[in-house]
Amino acid sequence: MRVLVVTAVAAEADSVAAGLVRAGYASPGEEEPVPVRPGPAQPPLARFRAEGHDVALDVLPAGVGPAAAAAGTALALARTPYHLVISAGIGGGFPGVAPLGSLVVGSDMVAADLGADSPEGFLPLPELGFGRDRLASPHGLCQDVARALGALRGTVLTVSTATGTAERAAELLARHPSAAAEAMEGFGVAEAADQYGLPVLEIRAVSNSVGPRDRSAWRIGDALAALTDAFGKLPPVLESWTSHEH
């Protein structure tokens, strides 16, 4: 089975890679430029293999935000056949639900700010009649991964503007009571994967609380370490899963 792991930035990709190395995987040093954008600024796709294992993983830092994530994922999928796509990285956890340093496995990926404002409040895309704003992970795989990683299962919200106030955090929770975390790429990755008929999973390590923006309270290093730990434990779960479930 071949898995594409999509992160936003190189630091997240490096943390994923460190976890795979911990699990016995190695990269042969082959870095293929994936044409995410024109010019020389093309992120490398790193391939990881482990002797005696049936799962191979490729790690791609596709860029920040749902648009870059969707474009990078789609282009990678056009070049190589995959069985599963994983959106991975750090993100914000909703207070009282996902504490700093914890892991969240997305049961659903929701484009939380894709829609329209109105005098009556926010109107999500489905209410406007313009399509979907939610995609789900395979239930069994999500459950098994969460159990193996000691992670919380819950909805992960995808936003183009990270939440920076208590008011917006409360508004998001009111609209999405099952939300556990917020990030900026998951739905974009999921949308691209679904266009290819592929299942998708989202794994987030919590670096900050969703709410008032306070960089002094962020724990990015702890979150990246948690992401490494997660991918050190992930391969055996993938080995036991088949793509026929979705």
Domains of the chain: 2-245 (3.40.50.1580)
48-70 mean pLDDT = 92
Sign of the C-alpha dihedral computed for residues 142, 131, 190 and 117 taken in this order: negative
Q: How many C-alpha atoms does 132 have within 13 Å on its Cβ side?
A: 12
Q: Which one-letter amino acid corresponds to residue 93?
A: G
- How far apart CA 76 and CA 98 sit, in angstroms, is 31
- Average pLDDT over all residues of the chain: 91
How confident is residue 29, by pLDDT bands cut at 50, 70 and 90? low
- How far apart CA 150 and CA 58 sit, in angstroms, is 24
Quick one: tokens of 128?
């406007």
Ranges assigned E (strand) in the chain: 2-7, 31-33, 44-48, 56-61, 84-93, 103-111, 115-116, 123-124, 134-136, 152-158, 179-183, 200-209
Q: What is the pLDDT of residue 246?
A: 46
Q: Is the pLDDT of residue 216 over 50?
A: yes
How confident is residue 52, by pLDDT bands cut at 50, 70 and 90? confident
189-203 mean pLDDT = 97
Write the CB contacts of 41 (distance below 8 Å, at least 6 apart in sequence): none
| Local structure of 175: helix, strand or coil | helix
Digit-coded pLDDT (tens) for 222-239: 999 999 999 999 999 999
Query: Considering the chain, what percentage of its residues have pLDDT values greater than 90?
Result: 78
- How far apart CA 207 and CA 183 sit, in angstroms, is 11
- How far apart CA 60 and CA 76 sit, in angstroms, is 8
Digit-coded pLDDT (tens) for 31-47: 554 444 444 455 678 88
| Beta-sheet pairing, 84-93 with 200-209 | parallel
CA angle 186, 141, 230 (to 5 degrees): 65
Q: What is the pLDDT of residue 245?
A: 55
127 close to 177: Cβ distance less than 8 angstroms = no
**More confident call, 204 vs 217:** 204
- How far apart CA 7 and CA 123 sit, in angstroms, is 29
Range with the lowest mean pLDDT among 37-46, 124-133, 211-220? 37-46
Give the pTM.
0.91
Residues making up the chain, counted from first to last: 246
Digit-coded pLDDT (tens) for 78-113: 989 999 999 999 999 999 999 999 999 999 999 999
170 close to 124: Cβ distance less than 8 angstroms = no
